[in-house]
Structure 1
Amino acid sequence: MTSTLVSDANRTPGTNAGGPVPMRLLNHPWTAFVLRRAGGLLLSFLVLTIVTFVIVPLIPGDPAVIAAGEGASADKIQSVRSELGLDQPLLVQFLNYFTGILRLDIGTSFISGDNVSTMIANRFPYTAEIALLAIGMVLLIAVPVGMSVAVLTNGGRRPWLDSMFNVLTSLFYSVPQYVMATLLVTVFAVSLRLLPAAGAAGPTSLILPTAALMIGPSCVIARVVRRETAVVLDKDYIRTARGWRLSAFRTHIRYVLPNLITTTLTLSGLILAAQLGGAVVIETVFAWPGLGQGIVNAILQRDYPVIRGIIMVLGLLATLIIVIVDVVLAVIDPRNLGGGTHE
């Protein structure tokens, strides 16, 4: 009895049988996971900052000449170069650029004089609209198609369907996005006159750019889902479910689909990140007023702040999307934390 009282008296406040609370939090798998992802985001930010600053001046042409206007004198060009800060040493320019980003001030356009952050904010919804719509359509189409083909061809049945699926997905995936976009415009806008060829005039204007973005990724995810489904269908627990005489629909939804979530979400996150870059080409073809069209115009005008700002935003968004997918996967399956499950 006495030893128990002494033990209780000597127990440090804020501790329990599992050890001090701060130590338990530090040793928690989620803590290590969050620190790794935060470190990855910070490293991506630093790399993007350096890369965007270094590569933009490599674009041929002098932005001061363009900003000064056609036929400007040498004195005028030099004056504009000084106003834009292009006559300063590169180290000074980089420090100004870096500190501006930390203040959430990307700069002002060399050509229009508008705030770059405002320009990006105005264009970003258009890019996000077609990118999110495309990935949503990819999942709605690719997952059911891939699962259906795997079920219908399971056990070597319908080899013609398997061959046709492989040929068609390989064919459509091999077509570059800009070629696919041009074909869609030629068929549905020029020949059939069913849809607008360019611009963002209304809901129908979304159809062709979204289709051009989603066709290739749909083929990739459908092939992956078909392969993963075929593997799952050969598992013992699927045979057991069939032995219980569960309906095919219930078996596939309850036991097959959950085993595809990890692979599908991982691939979808990578594709969505890539869609942001693919939107540059698609927006140019369809004259879509998003970030892609904005960066093309900025490159033609040698507008350094706009180019840097858009590349920075697209790069950080792509990294953030991948981190969000990692978090979702870790919530679904704690084994994805990398540190094991927490008891």
Structure 2
Amino acid sequence: MTTTELRPGASTQAPLQRLRSLRGRLSPRTDFAIRRIGRLVVGLLVVVLAAFFLVHLVPGDPVRAALGPTAPASLVEATRVSLGLDLPLPQQLLNYLSGLLRGDLGTSIQSGLSVGDTIAARFPTTLTLAALGFLVAVIGALPIGMGAALVARTGRGRTLNGGISGFLGILIAIPDFVLSVGLIALCSIWLGFLPPAGWGDADNAVLPVLGLSLGAMAYLSRIVQVEMIAVLDSTYIATARAKRLPQRLILLRHALPNIITATLTVGGLLLSGLVAGTVIIETVFAIPGAGTTLVSAVGTKDYPMIQGMVLVYAGMVLAVNLVVDLILITIDPRTTIAEG
């Protein structure tokens, strides 16, 4: 009898040892990226299963909701059979998963259109809104946070510092839909210089982008302020001042690069939240994007559309987190060590 046969669990240990050996030959960045991609795949699988079972737990008949209360029972039953909704739930799940592997997200019960085609038509608007909101949040947060840090560190202007902190705190606390309604009331109803709804022109984009980005900008500004105060108190900044370098050069060349990592980390999380927050913003401003389509699908119990939209939204959030992680390990390789 061999030594391997005498050792319990040796058959399972050998593949694990080979896997560890393979990981040992990979660079830390490659190993980190592979683990992150694996988490993304597992996360998508969990989202698919959760979306499938949760929408089927919602009471009501989606076929009856789509055809109307006066539709004949024979037509309702025939439609249910054609969509496969008469099958047992496990069989419906297998059919749905096999369709996903083929790239088929199903057919909308309400409109009869392909879910994939609907997503392809609506998601560019949602991505544009999220991207603009992110840019406004980051571009606004950097100067505001750095300026607030300079005011706080000097010890002068305590009233101004308190006012900035209080204003940022209020923006963080106000929900996006309340802030959006307030922007409509102020800029469209009272002042009348911006349209209250719609999408397509630059004027139509101003209020939705502000409604989406102001809370994120305020939160990111606080992070930048805290990081900047810590950087300004560091020894290398003191050395730069001792060399009598201009303040602008100290801030841009020495201080700013050292707050980028923390800003990107928080900004990546905020971008994920902005992608999800487009659902509310699109509903408030009547923007024909994926968010309004999802809300409409929930109201009509359109199972395939809900599942497809939730899957794409979750995929976007997970993909954003993956991209941010890859950027971070490029900028700061110590990220791979922190993650283990």
- TM-score by structure 1 length? 0.90
Determine the structure 2 residue equivalent to 1:27: 26
Residue matched to 1:48:
47
TM superposition shift of 1:194: 0.8
Residue in 2 that maps onto 1:326: 325
Q: Is the 8 A contact 1:281 1:292 kept in 2?
A: yes
Runs of 4+ aligned structure 1 residues displaced above 3 Å come to 22-25
Match of 2:5? none
Distance 1:300 1:256, change over 3 A: same
CA distance in structure 2 between the partners assigned to 1:196 and 1:59 by the alignment = 37
> Which residue matches 2:63?
64
Equivalent runs, 1:2-151 vs 2, <5 Å: 26-151=25-150
Q: CA deviation at 1:51?
A: 0.8
Runs of at least 5 residues in structure 1 that lack an aligned partner in the other structure: 1-21
Q: Confirm or deny: 8 A CA contact 2:141 2:217 kept in the other structure.
A: yes
Partner of 2:171: 172
Alignment correspondent of 2:267: 268
Alignment RMSD, CA only? 1.7
Q: Does the 8 A contact of 1:29 with 1:339 survive in 2?
A: no
SS at match of 1:249: helix
Change (3 A) 1:42 1:23: closer
Q: Distance in 2 between matches of 1:179 and 1:189?
A: 15
Specify the alignment match of 2:180 in structure 1: 181
Q: For residue 240 of structure 1, what is the aligned residue in structure 2?
A: 239
Report which of the two structures shows the higher radius of gyration computed on alpha carbons: 1
In the alignment, residue 203 of structure 2 is paired with which amino acid? T
Q: 2:112 & 2:248 partners in 1: Cα distance?
A: 59
* SS of alignment partner, residue 105 of structure 1: coil
Equivalent in the alignment of 2:284: 285
Amino acid in the other structure paired with 2:327: V
Partner of 1:326, secondary structure, is helix
**Alpha-carbon displacement from aligned partner over 1:136-177 (angstroms, at most 9, x marks no partner):** 011111111100111122142221122111110111111111
Count the aligned residue pairs. Answer: 320
What is the distance in 1 between the residues matched to 2:67 and 2:49? Answer: 28
Residue identity in the other structure for 2:113? D
Note closer, same or farther for the CA distance 1:243–1:193 as it changes in structure 2 (3 Å cut).
same
Counterpart residue identity of residue 288, structure 2: P
| Change in CA separation of 1:322 and 1:155 when aligned onto 2, cut-off 3 Å | same
One-letter amino acid of the structure 2 residue matched with residue 78 of structure 1 = E
Work out whether residues 68 and 80 of structure 1, in 8 Å CA contact, stay in contact via their aligned partners in 2: no
Distance change in 2, residues 1:24/1:187 (3 Å) = closer
Between the aligned residues of both structures, percent identity stands at 38
2:256: which partner in 1? Answer: 257
Normalised to the residue count of structure 2, the TM-score between the two structures is 0.91
Q: CA deviation at 1:68?
A: 2.5
- Aligned-pair CA distance for 1:197: 1.0
Q: Does 1:315 align with 2:314?
A: yes
Q: Give the Cα–Cα distance (whole angstroms) in 1 for the partners of residues 23 and 299 of structure 2.
A: 55
Tell me which residue corresponds to 1:15: none
The 5 A counterparts of 1:148-163 are 148-163=147-162
- Once residues 111 and 130 of structure 1 are traced to their aligned partners in structure 2, the CA distance between those partners, rounded to angstroms, is 26
- Residue 337 of structure 2 corresponds to 338
Query: What is the rounded CA distance, in whole Å, between the counterparts of 1:228 and 1:218 in structure 2?
Result: 15
Q: Which amino acid aligns with 2:50?
A: V
Question: Are the aligned partners of 1:25 and 1:31 in contact in 2 as well (CA < 8 Å)?
Answer: no
For residues 227 and 159 of structure 1, the distance between their equivalents in structure 2, rounded to whole angstroms, comes to: 16
> 1:237-259: CA deviations, max 9, x gaps?
11100000000000011111111
SS in 2 for 1:47: helix
**Partners of 1:235 and 1:142 in 2: CA distance:** 22
Corresponding residue number in structure 1 for 2:214: 215
Check conservation: 2:23, 2:31, Cα contact below 8 A: no
Question: Does structure 2 retain, via aligned residues, the 8 Å contact 1:30–1:337?
Answer: yes
C-alpha change, 1:182 and 1:60, in structure 2 (3 Å) is farther
Structure 1 residues 275 and 339 mapped into 2: Cα distance closer, same or farther (>3 Å)? Answer: closer
Q: Aligned partners of 1:25 and 1:222: how far apart in 2?
A: 40
Moved more, 217-226 or 50-59: 50-59
1:18 alignment partner in structure 2: none
Q: Are 1:195 and 1:204, in contact at CA under 8 Å, matched by a contact in 2?
A: yes
Which residue identity is paired with 1:269? G
